[in-house]
A and B are shown apart, each in its own frame.
Chain A
């Protein structure tokens, strides 16, 4: 673990991980009391990933957490009561009881997109968020998470490939917790490192020890800033382990005892505590203060949640459509001149025209305009050679110009790669 973070950052990370775990511990109790309506999924042992990655985002950034990213929601500012109420299907929950678990979002303030149960779908959605942000000039980054299992879906491929072709400011956290329900990762993906999947898309990737919150945070921070700077999407594989079953009902007896023991000895909170103590950033008193703070907070939040009623039955029939304008308050927030994306400035001229090609409508060979990607050629930039509209221009020369300045940046050897050994 590194010490470059400020004391406050260290304490934030520690507090947020403790909060993450305490919120989930509270929910286990609620579950055992039959107060949770559906299933309960745990991120026990994976808190460093949710917290460390989300902590790397700025307020304006967007994220879409998956089921085991309660920590990310907390980092973004979701109050624990919302998470409790979601699980308890309460009327005051963000979805008013229409959906459970971490399936909720907030478009207007927190910039959180709700997940759905079908894995991978968030990848193209968050790519779209990233592209819209870039289009509007907002300089945002979009982040979402996926598991080792979710990385087998078709939409994982479609989404990442599209994000990469667009160089979208998008960061994907691939939480490799070794188990997809009962299926071990080796039956899911025939790769040692899931980060290798990024190569297929020409994307950069990192591998990080998912139980080391500082490594997770610093890696995520670097990835987020590179994505923000326009370097394209980045994938981070965080190696970790799912300590409990798929959900509460699953005792996960298929997990070898040795594997469980190994990872239990590497609990991310215990590891961090040890580090903080040795660095004198945290002492017994500080720890106790945090625990008391959490107890008080969660007691209050739990009580509020428990007192919220179930939704009135008739609510089931409402809200399928957005009718009128008051249900859609999202307006494009322009942070660049609109003139840049409206004619005449947006207009594109063909790099050249090809006689007889693409006339399409049976007209038998009018000149067709040809375009080469969204990068302006050097000639266009300097403006000296004009638009090369002459039909006789040799193809190879122009094409070469349009692509010449592309350089491929080698994947950075991350600090955390070393941590993995």
Chain B
């Protein structure tokens, strides 16, 4: 048992291997903590238990009590303490057990952490990460996509990856960034998505979108779990002769306007898919950017496929209705392509 345990905890991949989304995140933390003793992990049940989703499994065993800190159920204390730690040169990673609980520390994040550099030259290099998103019947308090509260907060960076490779590379980049970075982990992807991660140390740049699939009839912009749903819809669209270009935003703040504009100027149509609720979602911001910077290039309306403007409901029938899915994306895209 001891041997298998060790094999699992020694994260650094010798060569490119297939890992789950969750394992990629664990590896990123493991490797960053190996690389730099200033990196510590702080959160609820991250130590003994290895995190509610086992994202930090094995970290306590390797790095000890001083670096893997189990806290009381006090999100504001977690964020506040991490911020204080960063002032002495540490690089804390905070785990929110479910990202829904991040709002318990809303003031600490938006007023203290985010404003420090602007106001008094106090950058807070820290990462706030946690499982987010629906589709797993977690109900209204364990399924949230609260990213836009923070995208509206100058001073923060907001990352929401969709693949193991990006999750690992972006989390490492987040740890090394000199600003507070929010890192959303879609829990639907944790164990459902597997992918290859490159061998050795690598980072993925924050603030860069990526084209997941090339196409010429319309652009589909998405991120996180909906990225995979959008690709599924794109496959179906292909059978109808519609070539959708699918872009993974990866970082929501700062948003990669260049990649978005480049694609839309090519396809002239844009569909935004997000699991976040409709009003105030990133689609609205993207619409504004396109109207400002690509108005002449648009051959159709900006179309949104999003969750409903309701809390995330619990029953599978309700949640399925609430969430976007490949069929909804397919229909919306088809209509837009015809426009």
Contacts and interface: CB of A to CB of B under 8 A. Distances in A.
A98 B155 CA distance: 14
Given A128-B81, A165-B72, A321-B155, A121 B107 contact: yes
A95 B117 CA distance: 10
A156 to B, nearest CB: 10
Nearest to A370: B48
A385 interface: no
A122 B77 CA distance: 10
Contact of A116 (B1, B81, B82, B112): B112
Chain A contact surface mostly: loop
A275 interface: no
A159 B80 contact: yes
B71 interface: yes
Interface stretch (A46-54, A240-248, A323-331): A323-331
B202 interface: no
Given A121-B111, A333-B89, A347-B63, A127 B119 contact: no
Contact of A135 (B34, B40, B116): B40
Given A328-B123, A347-B63, A367-B1, A322 B117 contact: yes
Interface in A348-388: 348-350, 353, 358, 360-361, 366-367, 369-371, 373-374
The number of chain A residues touching the other chain, given as a range, is 35 or more
A366 B1 contact: yes
A98 B119 CA distance: 6
A353 B157 CA distance: 40
A270 to B, nearest CB: 35
B74 A105 contact: no
B64 to A, nearest CB: 4
Given A107-B121, A346-B62, 8 more contacts: A124-B74, A124-B79, A125-B112, A127-B77, A135-B67, A327-B117, A341-B37, A353-B1
21 contacts: A99-B119, A104-B120, A107-B122, A118-B107, A124-B80, A124-B84, A125-B83, A126-B84, A130-B84, A132-B87, A132-B90, A159-B74, A161-B72, A333-B89, A338-B37, A348-B60, A353-B1, A360-B50, A366-B1, A367-B1, A374-B66
Contacts of A116: 111-112, 115
A85 interface: no
B85 interface: yes
A328 B178 CA distance: 7
A98 B88 contact: no
